[in-house]
Amino acid sequence: MALPVGVPILSPEEYLRWETIQPEKHEYVGGEVFAMGGASRRQVTISGNLFSALDEALFGTPCRVYMADMKIEIVTTSSFFYPDVFVTGHPDDHRAELAMRHPLLVAEVLSPSTAAYDRGDKFIAYRRLAPLKEYLLIDPDQQQLELFRKGSDGLWVLHDFVPGQTLELVSVGATISWERLFRNVD
């Protein structure tokens, strides 16, 4: 995670008002605002590939896929994050304009500067979302996938995928080939 920007401690409502007029994106954790860094070409390509594959797979279902510019709010931790890609099927989310609260699947494309945070504190915060069933981490450098899936016992289990293996996203009933996910990634 980046260092906090020079903004006083804000309430969630103040953050949402402030964020709408900023030229760059900022995440929010417990009153502090953090500037988001830019994404690499590979990160953007993978996010786009995942978005398009999910959008196609979810056609005709109540689920919708969002990416990059839509926030997820975690009320219990007073946090707002911009995941790379996420899926929700909740009617309230389909009407939300600034932030959604009921993702089934969240995916983050890792960078060297965010990998530890995405695997650690951010995942801890995401786990507070009761509807969340899967958390996907994609490493563009290693072309590695780590899928954390919540079991019926509430425990999160890691599912590793090796190159060439099909990614099965049980939470949204979608499968994505390795080749599709990493298409046009050198």
Q: Which residue has the tokens 């409502």?
A: 13
Q: Which residues pair with 136 in a beta bridge?
A: 107, 147
pTM as predicted: 0.94
**35-73: pLDDT as tens digits:** 888 888 999 999 999 999 999 999 999 999 999 889 999
**19-31: pLDDT as tens digits:** 999 999 999 999 9
Tokens of 77: 């931790």
Confirm or reject CATH 3.40.50.150 for domain 39-70+83-181, answering yes or no.
no
Q: Where are the domains of the chain?
A: 39-70+83-181
Helices (H), 88-164: 91-95, 115-119, 121-126
